[in-house]
Amino acid sequence: MLLVVVTVSMFSPILLSDVNEYYLKIVVCTLSDGKIVPKVIFKPHEIAYILCEYRPFLRKSETEYYCCFSYFIEVLDPINRRMFYKNNTVRTKVGENYVWKTYYSFQIRSSFYNGIYLAKITVHDFFAGKSFSSVSYFAVVESVPAALTLKATHSFRLGNPHKTNIKIDYLYVALITSNIYQKVVKGPVFSKNPLTMVSDIYGNKYAVYKDIKLAPGENFLLNINYTLVLKTFFINLNVSRDILKSIPANITIYLKPGPKIESDHPLIREKALELTEGKKTLLEMLYSIGCFVKSHITYTQMKVETSALQAYLSRKGDCTEYSMLFTALARAAGIPCRMVAGYGFIYFLPSQKERNITTTHAWCEVYVPNVGWVPVEPQAPGSIGSSAPAGYYIVLCRCPNRNTTLYGNKIKIKMLYRVFSGLYSTVQYSLNLHLIDKESIQIKITLIKYSKGYISVSGWVNKNIDKLKAIILKPNNSTKVIDIFVKNKYFSLNYRAYDKGLYRICLFYAGSEKYKASYTEINVFTEKEKSSITVHVDRQKVIKGEAVTITGQLNPPLSNQIILVKCVKGKQIFEYFAKTRGGKFKISVKLPSEGLWTIIVYWNGSVDYYSCKATVMVEVVSPPSLLEQVLEYKELIAVLILVLFIALLHRKIMKKSK
């Protein structure tokens, strides 16, 4: 066993926050070269560290400070199953600038699904009377696919262990059919064709065989082949319990008691009311019932099937008793529910290509209006809302052991039911699953650029898919998940990068029925860009009292930016402000005294650009005296006198000529 010792000081630089503000933060990290570093991509067997930091509200008592808050940390997988959780309450005496820090670690198991995971911390601060939450995202890759496409062979062997011939009059074999979490792409294909196929009112379908005769030691072998898709996805059950008022008439049968489902018994009804009273959503109701069933029953392999009431009273049972008790409580609470049977807990580890399953399993399905029948694993209430609660599931029988009439015979709903008189036959069955290889998805990046506050990423994929997911790890170690839509195999991402520093971006494809999961990682370093400003004045020498017009151009050519114009001469400082329009600005100022003025034009910058400034000089002079004005225009006056003299001389000459 590898022992790793981690101290809070190892990750303190990761959780940097302003201690003057209340804040909450969670970061998912890994251990690299003895250092804790944030990470968004994990593979099976790696260790993930969850680092948390919170500055609580404090209460002062004389000279001492106290905090009191509770926290709950959880990690949810792509189908909303809880893979890790911790909770605790902190009550302690602290310093004035106290910041609470903690960390937990957990291993990425090979049974984890490929996809995007959510790490969340929720804090309830008792002194503030408020709750706060913070989230972080990461992806698990090269693990269990989110959708399995496989070839399935359901095999049956009926044998004659006796010394005389035996006969099976009718044999009913349950068939795999499609629902929201399993899809039959092809099949059933039989090694021995049945007499017919029939369906019952509960949605079960059977292949019917007749007059099977077996000599001593002889076997009846039957293989039924399918191509299946098993899907994992999240079903939102966090809806008002009022949805249960709109149950279709054909579903109300699943609200009534049935054989071994004593939902009308006073003890069951009383417990169901206790568990669901005050619960506002369907999810809360189901979770409350599931948690009770899981804690109430001690798992015990039963030799004989009992009932919901007996399971409630004895507090022991196997998957059948768990399912019967859950079904009875759900029905008593007004939730349509049924027990189903088939194969469960189906996992394919990354290295596995084939599974052979010989053990059947029982679980439940609840009916949700506008959704359909949703699987519920009573032994794993934390997975309620997942299409694959504890691995993949394949259902064959709905309402097992209930009586029905098919093809003229009264039978019990089972995976295999025999109608015979005389000696019995032995039965063996198994389900062989073989993964079908999927096509690979290649994600190619053709452009990575940062400019004008935006990160631009462009590329293409080699198959026609709808979208990718981008997990963005920002310089402040927070994360964001966004959709990137793919059109004609090309995609582009334009992300507004307010924070400056290193961005780590994972482009992720979760996989589908046809394609494998795929991902690629890129790093983009962002920093503020340089800015500049050019300034002009209409005159560099002005008379006192006259206005100076200052014009300029800011680069980048942004609008609505505030430009500071500072006029300085010695201790005299005057400030003015102008607003840009397309980077251009204009302002007129009057400089109050004579002398050489320095005009400083300054822009404070932005989240994307550094600040900049420019300087011009303007001389202010006093108004000229009368003599100075005369002297200033002496040449003009001399010209005017000369012109006047010439005009008078011309006039005098003209008079003499007459």
CATH of region 443-526, choose from 2.60.40.10, 3.30.420.40, 3.30.930.10, 3.90.920.20 = 2.60.40.10
Is 80 exceeded by the pLDDT of residue 1?
no
CATH code of domain 8-140: 2.60.40.3880
3-state secondary structure of 295: helix
Q: pLDDT tens-digit profile of 309-342?
A: 999 999 999 999 999 999 999 999 999 999 999 9
Residue 126 has what pLDDT?
95
Residue 630 has what pLDDT?
59
Q: Is the peptide bond before 378 cis (omega within 30 degrees of 0)?
A: no
Residue 351 has what pLDDT?
81
Q: How far apart, in Å, are the Cα atoms of 645 and each of 634, 636, 639, 648?
A: 16, 14, 10, 5
Residue 168: strand pairing partners: 212
3-state secondary structure of 442: coil
Q: Please compute the mean of the pLDDT values over residues 162-166 and round it to a whole number.
A: 95
Residue 648 has what pLDDT?
79
466: phi then psi, degrees, rounded to nearest 5: -85, -45
Residue 22 has what pLDDT?
73
Binning pLDDT at 50, 70 and 90, where does residue 658 land?
low
Average pLDDT, the chain: 91
3-state secondary structure of 26: strand
Q: Report percent pLDDT > 70 for the chain.
A: 95
pTM over 0.85: no
Element counts in the chain: helices (H) and strands (E): 6, 42
Q: pLDDT tens-digit profile of 334-371?
A: 999 999 999 999 988 778 899 999 999 999 999 999 99
Round to whole Å and give the CA distance between 134 and 120: 6
Choice between 35 and 533, residue whose per-residue pLDDT is larger: 533
CATH code of domain 532-621: 2.60.40.1930
CATH topology of domain 233-392: C8orf32 fold (3.10.620)
Dihedral sign, CA of 241, 246, 252, 256? positive
User: Hey, where are the domains in the chain?
Assistant: 8-140, 233-392, 443-526, 532-621, 630-657
Q: How far apart, in Å, are the Cα atoms of 281 and each of 180, 185, 330, 380, 477?
A: 22, 35, 14, 19, 34
Do 443-526 and 532-621 have matching folds?
yes
